[in-house]
Amino acid sequence: MIKGKLLVFSAPSGSGKTTIVRHLLAQPDLNLEFSISCTTREPRGEEVHGKDYYFISWDEFKKHIKAEDFVEWEEVYTDNFYGTLKAEVERIWALGKHVIFDIDVAGGLRIKSKFPNETLAVFVKPPSVDELKRRLKQRSTESEDKINMRIAKASVELATAPQFDTIIKNYDLDVAKEDAYKLVKDFINKD
């Protein structure tokens, strides 16, 4: 099987990474396919099983851990586990495409450490923690407690930014999308 590239986009919740990843997926010349993560959390809003996430039980998740089926996995929030199945990466590579991840910082760094030559790890930096909080509230998908939990975690995640290959500052979404496009295009065209 021919291996493609791995494009990791990580950031605190509300930074705009999902919007940037969706923009990149819409660019046919990049030949990208979204890596669908497994999670034990419940779907939010319009999320669809097999499209946004594979929503699985904690027991199923544990079986995958025991069988060493994951490229990476993490308890991102208390009792909310997320992971990337090896089979998902292999499925995308078998299609002859590059894998793009919208993933938490710990998972993103784990992928980079396992596949250092194939991976471009990008950290999406928000303008401020206050702006993050505003964006999360604007979503109207989570309770105030969940939002506060995400904001508390954001400070820790922001401190990991220097460990990534590059940082995109998402102060202006159109500029961030263009910066991401150029980075990805250059990386996938490298030998």
Show the domain range for 110.
6-183
Domain presence at residue 83: yes
Most confident of 13-22, 66-75, 126-135: 66-75
If one counts the domains in the chain, the total is 1
Q: How far apart are CA 112 and CA 126, in angstroms?
A: 22
Contact (Cβ atoms closer than 8 angstroms) between residue 154 and residue 12: yes
CATH of the domain at 87: 3.40.50.300
Report yes or no on 1 lying in a domain.
no
Residue 108 covered by a domain: yes
Q: Does 117 fall in a domain? A: yes
Q: How high is the pLDDT of residue 2?
A: 62
What would the pLDDT profile of 159-169 be if each residue is shown by its tens digit? 899 999 999 99
- Listed as own residue / partner, the contacts of 88-92 with beta carbons closer than 8 Å and 24 or more positions apart are 88/35, 88/36, 88/37, 89/6, 89/35, 90/1, 92/4, 92/33, 92/35
Instruction: Indicate the pTM of the whole model.
Output: 0.87
Cα 136 to Cα 29, 141, 154, 165, 175: the distances in Å are 32, 8, 12, 26, 21
Assess whether pLDDT exceeds 80 at residue 32: yes
pLDDT at 190: 86
C-alpha radius of gyration, the chain, whole number: 16
Neighbours of 79 (CB within 10 A): 9
What percentage of the chain has pLDDT greater than the value 70?
A: 97
Measured between alpha carbons, how far is residue 134 from residues 43, 64, 167, 171 in Å? 22, 36, 22, 14
Establish if 188 belongs to a structural domain: no
Domain for residue 191, yes or no? no
The answer as to whether 107 is a domain residue is: yes
**Residue pLDDT, tens place only, 77-125:** 778 899 999 999 999 999 999 999 999 899 999 999 999 999 999 999 9
Q: What is the mean pLDDT of residues 67-76?
A: 93
Burial 148-174 (b: 16+ CB within 10 A, else e): eebbebbeebbebbeebeeebebeeee
Q: Is residue 120 part of a domain?
A: yes
